[in-house]
Amino acid sequence: MQSKEKYQEYYYVSRGNLLSIEFLNQNKLKSDDVLFLNWLTLVTRSAENRLLRRPADPKEQKESYYYFEDIIDNTKAEKREIILIVDESHKNAATTLAKDIIDYINPKIILKVSATPEHEPSFSDVKNNRAGFVEVSRQEVISEGLIKEKIVVQTDEDLQKFSGRDLDEILLDLGIEKRDALKKEFQSISKIVNPLMLIQLPNDDSKLLELGQKSKEEVVLTYLAKRGIKENEIALWFDGKSKNMEFITHNDSEVNFMLFKQAAGTGWDCPRAHVLVMFREINSPTFYIQTIGRILRMPEPHKKDDYTNNSNLRTAFLYTNYKRNEVAIPDQSPTNKPFTQFAKRKPNISNIELKSAFISHIDYGDLSNSTKFISSFIQSMNKYFGITTDDIFEKGIKKLKNSGIDLKPVVTNEIIVNAEYSDFDTINFDFRNKGQDHSYEMSTLDVEKTFNFWCYQILVEQTDKEAKVSNFSRSWATMKSAIRLWFKQFFFDNSPYYYKIFINDIDKKAASKIRPAITQALKDYRPILNEILIKKAKAQEEIETSVFTIKEEYLFTDDYIEITQNLCVLDKFLLFKNYSGRDNEIHFMNFIESKADKIEWWFKNGDSGKDYFAVKYFNTATKEHALFYPDWIIKFTDGKIGIFDTKSGRTATDTEGRAEALAVKLKDLNQAENKFVGGIIIFENGIWYYNYSEKYEYQKGKLNNDWKKLAELF
């Protein structure tokens, strides 16, 4: 709808109609009609979202309703050509589903619009009129009055005005002051434009709650209220929650501030957005360059000459607590792909039930017992710094000082100042190389917040296996208590003071004296933790059980493609497109497909999750128990059940304990009912061999007597 409105504003023509699918009351496109569509509603296969597409089953089709396919079919029936324009084409035209839709439309011309095109046409394509491209320079866009000339961040002078204040409040005050000044400047040239201040909260804002602090959303809303800003001036745009967003893109909107996380990303168009306050991520510094693009647009491109003498109105303003040396542009590749394909169990097959392995999740990756950890931590830290039970207060302080810990620290924040960016496309590089770093002494509130953060982050940074915990959220508070109680031996309860000592030392990175001591304390606690976990796990695994059976339906992403077969227990065999061992597995599939007289069905097992069959084994490489998912389960016509895993090359030489575990599992299964066969499978000498020995051994070209010809099972 934003695209339709912009087209209407900039390129209004007297002939033809501008249409959207919701208001299309005709069953075809007429000459010069322009239809605006939400692309994702076309390329989805999700039943609840594909409102525009015609159902394959005629019984599901609505009467007196025009589907997208109807409009295309009827337009083509009148010999009318279609031109397709795809915005953000690098992600909207590249998927299999998108290509299917494009093929159905069969446009005469496709215009693909992108700031990061996947490829450019070759010289030959251009020369022979097969394709072409137009590259628009940034300066051309500025000259047309579409975007601002530059981005400016806070200055050293800005920060000096607020010395000793909380940094969160300083950034908000700087943004509010700038927004107010810009509004007055718009008014001075008789413009009805109300500049909008965007406030980007950390995407991992919930971590603050885990760190015992208010969420950044709560901090910002409380401070805006303190400044006398009313609720109707503030918009919220979060997943599952929005407020005052209805007319926010209008230049004369009364909304002055908008809080968001990542919602205002690629494509959102609000040209009056002028100021951005951006708070750094809690866990990791991830600089969302797309968000800066939201404050680059100009509010009145068609009146660009009115702004010639107002440089501030042609400048975007950024206030942020990011450091120059920690900026990282996030990977924009798609993640967490939705399930778009499914395969169903064939009817009338004889199913199976197998007891599948389970590994206790009693180990939550945390420090488990806070009392035991704190006691162990204090003991270990004292030992590291040579502190005895007699070294309380002054004696202990002297030993800390002699170890190299600075007991009179000045703690500062390093943030970027005095930078201007004129080229949005190179901002990733420029952010690290332009401007200066400003040392701003932390307020008491900032000191406490930073201390909490380091209690969390120091756990994240552990790389030594014996010192690592994986559940930082469940562990940081225990770590904080341990550090506080250790310091209280020397400084009573003067927490602001020893917080500064801790932060100052930790900030020294590799030169820190406390960092290695904490790592050693975590390592010293590991034997105690392991003993706790062993007792819990043993009790848990005695009551847990899992049974594997062939489900009615399995879901797959579009990274899987269908392989032709006849004997799969599912109505289609979907296999991942590219992975090591794929060719070997297809080779084996072809072998068992050739044994139709001996095999009722086969199933390609998954590699994780309770929906698939797992065997517990001790991994000889990691020295930990893990789950192993054999590749194939085969139901023979004579009632036998085969459990096989295909290997080749290095994976056949060293199975890291999987082969032995599978052999033991087969032996255990046969004690109840002697019908199970299986083992590790390799292809050698032009035939398939299998091995189910509990003393597994494989040398290429030197097969011992444990290797049997697989054909003998058939």
Encode pLDDT of 204-258 as tens digits: 666 666 666 778 888 899 999 999 999 999 999 987 788 999 999 999 999 999 9
Per the CB < 8 A criterion, the answer to whether 219 and 445 are in contact is no
Provide the pLDDT confidence category of residue 332 given band limits of 50, 70 and 90: very low
CA distances from 2 to 5, 8, 21, 109, 652 (A): 5, 10, 14, 23, 57
Would you state the structure tokens that stand for residue 385, as one six-digit string?
A: 């710094």
CB-based burial label for 388 (10 Å; 0-12, 13-18, 19+): exposed
CATH at 203? 3.40.50
Q: Note the pLDDT of residue 323.
A: 66
Rounded Cα distance between 704 and 651, Å, is: 18
- Torsion, Cα 112 115 121 127, to 10 degrees, reads 90
Final residue in a domain of this structure, among 124, 142, 160: 142
Q: Note the pLDDT of residue 186.
A: 96
- Within a domain: residue 425? no
Final residue in a domain of this structure, among 326, 342, 362: 326
679: left (phi over 0), alpha (psi -120 to 50) or beta: left
Would you state the structure tokens that stand for residue 56, as one six-digit string?
A: 């394959």
Q: Note the pLDDT of residue 346.
A: 95
Do 596 and 676 lie in a common domain? yes
Per the CB < 8 A criterion, the answer to whether 690 and 643 are in contact is no
Q: Note the pLDDT of residue 190.
A: 95
- Within a domain: residue 363? no
Question: Pick from 496, 499, 441, 411: which is nearest to 166 by CA?
Answer: 441
Would you state the structure tokens that stand for residue 77, as one six-digit string?
A: 């029936």
- Within a domain: residue 33? yes
Would you state the structure tokens that stand for residue 69, as one six-digit string?
A: 């396919």
- Within a domain: residue 432? no
Q: Select, from the ranges 201-210, 373-382, 419-428, the one with the highest average predicted confidence (pLDDT).
A: 373-382
- Range 299-305 average pLDDT: 89
Rounded Cα distance between 451 and 448, Å, is: 5
Beta-sheet pairing, 273-278 with 196-200 = parallel
H/E element, 599: strand 599-604
Per the CB < 8 A criterion, the answer to whether 304 and 298 are in contact is yes
116 or 131: which leads in pLDDT: 131
Whether residue 270 has pLDDT greater than 60: yes
Q: Note the pLDDT of residue 377.
A: 97
Rounded Cα distance between 456 and 56, Å, is: 53
Structural domains of the chain, count: 4
Do 211 and 162 lie in a common domain? yes
Provide the pLDDT confidence category of residue 328 given band limits of 50, 70 and 90: very low
Do 120 and 159 lie in a common domain? no
Q: Select, from the ranges 81-90, 518-527, 534-543, the one with the highest average predicted confidence (pLDDT).
A: 518-527
- The DSSP code for 156 is H
Give the pLDDT confidence of 581-613 residue by residue, as tens digits: 899 999 999 999 999 999 999 999 998 877 899
Provide the pLDDT confidence category of residue 473 given band limits of 50, 70 and 90: confident
Question: Pick from 591, 622, 570: which is nearest to 711 by CA?
Answer: 591
Whether residue 41 has pLDDT greater than 60: yes
Do 512 and 537 lie in a common domain? yes
Whether residue 333 has pLDDT greater than 50: no
Question: Pick from 442, 373, 384: which is nearest to 412 by CA?
Answer: 442
What phi and psi values does residue 117 have, to the nearest 5 degrees?
A: -60, 145
Final residue in a domain of this structure, among 295, 326, 357: 326
Provide the pLDDT confidence category of residue 542 given band limits of 50, 70 and 90: low
Would you state the structure tokens that stand for residue 509, as one six-digit string?
A: 């990175």
- Within a domain: residue 434? no
Q: Note the pLDDT of residue 308.
A: 86
The 3 state secondary structure assigned to 612-639 is CCCEEEEECCCCEEEEECCCEEEEECCC
DSSP character string of 305-330: GGGTT-GGGGEEEEEE---GGG--PP
Would you state the structure tokens that stand for residue 96, as one six-digit string?
A: 């299999």
Do 119 and 150 lie in a common domain? no
Helix-strand-coil percent breakdown of the chain, rounded to 5? Answer: 40, 20, 45
Whether residue 62 has pLDDT greater than 80: no
Do 234 and 321 lie in a common domain? yes
110 contact partners, CB below 8 Å, separation of at least 6: 83, 84, 85, 86, 93, 102
Rounded Cα distance between 284 and 149, Å, is: 30
Question: Pick from 689, 705, 604: which is nearest to 652 by CA?
Answer: 689
Q: Note the pLDDT of residue 4.
A: 84
Query: How many other CB atoms sit within 10 Å of the CB of residue 30?
Result: 12
- Within a domain: residue 343? no
Whether residue 397 has pLDDT greater than 60: yes
CA distances from 615 to 31, 207, 622, 623, 634 (A): 64, 36, 17, 16, 16
Do 387 and 535 lie in a common domain? yes
What phi and psi values does residue 444 have, to the nearest 5 degrees?
A: -60, -40
Per the CB < 8 A criterion, the answer to whether 567 and 372 are in contact is no
Rounded Cα distance between 273 and 237, Å, is: 14
DSSP character string of 433-476: HSSEEEEEEPPHHHHHHHHHHHHHHHHHT--STTT--S-HHHHH
Q: Note the pLDDT of residue 331.
A: 39
Q: Note the pLDDT of residue 240.
A: 74
For the chain, percent of residues with pLDDT exceeding 90 = 46
Would you state the structure tokens that stand for residue 710, as one six-digit string?
A: 């697989």
Q: Note the pLDDT of residue 125.
A: 81
Whether residue 574 has pLDDT greater than 70: yes
Per the CB < 8 A criterion, the answer to whether 45 and 340 are in contact is yes
Do 469 and 523 lie in a common domain? yes
Q: Select, from the ranges 33-42, 131-140, 454-463, the one with the highest average predicted confidence (pLDDT).
A: 454-463
- Within a domain: residue 643? yes
Do 501 and 596 lie in a common domain? no
Q: Note the pLDDT of residue 335.
A: 38
Give the pLDDT confidence of 432-446 residue by residue, as tens digits: 677 777 777 888 878
Whether residue 265 has pLDDT greater than 60: no
Do 319 and 205 lie in a common domain? yes
674 or 417: which leads in pLDDT: 674
Q: Note the pLDDT of residue 544.
A: 61
Do 480 and 516 lie in a common domain? yes
SS3 category, 235: strand
**Using CA of residue 418, residue 423, residue 428, residue 430, what is the dihedral sign?**
negative
Q: Note the pLDDT of residue 558.
A: 75
- Range 627-641 average pLDDT: 95
Q: Note the pLDDT of residue 427.
A: 60
167 contact partners, CB below 8 Å, separation of at least 6: 321, 413, 415, 440, 442, 443, 446
Rounded Cα distance between 242 and 261, Å, is: 12
Do 381 and 275 lie in a common domain? no
The average confidence (pLDDT) of the chain is 85
Q: Note the pLDDT of residue 294.
A: 86
Q: Note the pLDDT of residue 206.
A: 65
Give the pLDDT confidence of 676-694 residue by residue, as tens digits: 999 999 999 999 999 999 9
First to last CA, the chain: 63
**Using CA of residue 343, residue 348, residue 354, residue 358, what is the dihedral sign?**
positive
Gyration radius (Cα) of the chain, Å: 33
Per the CB < 8 A criterion, the answer to whether 295 and 254 are in contact is no
Rounded Cα distance between 435 and 446, Å, is: 24
Question: Pick from 442, 495, 435: which is nearest to 169 by CA?
Answer: 442
Whether residue 417 has pLDDT greater than 90: no
- Range 334-353 average pLDDT: 76
678 half-sphere exposure, CB direction, 13 A CA radius: 30
Query: How many other CB atoms sit within 10 Å of the CB of residue 22?
Result: 9
- Within a domain: residue 510? yes
113 or 176: which leads in pLDDT: 176
Least confident of 44-58, 153-167, 326-340: 326-340
Helices (H) and strands (E) in the chain, counts: 22, 28
What phi and psi values does residue 169 have, to the nearest 5 degrees?
A: -70, -35
DSSP character string of 60-83: GSPTT---HHHHHHHHHHTT---E
Domain containing residue 535: 370-408+441-541
- Range 336-349 average pLDDT: 76
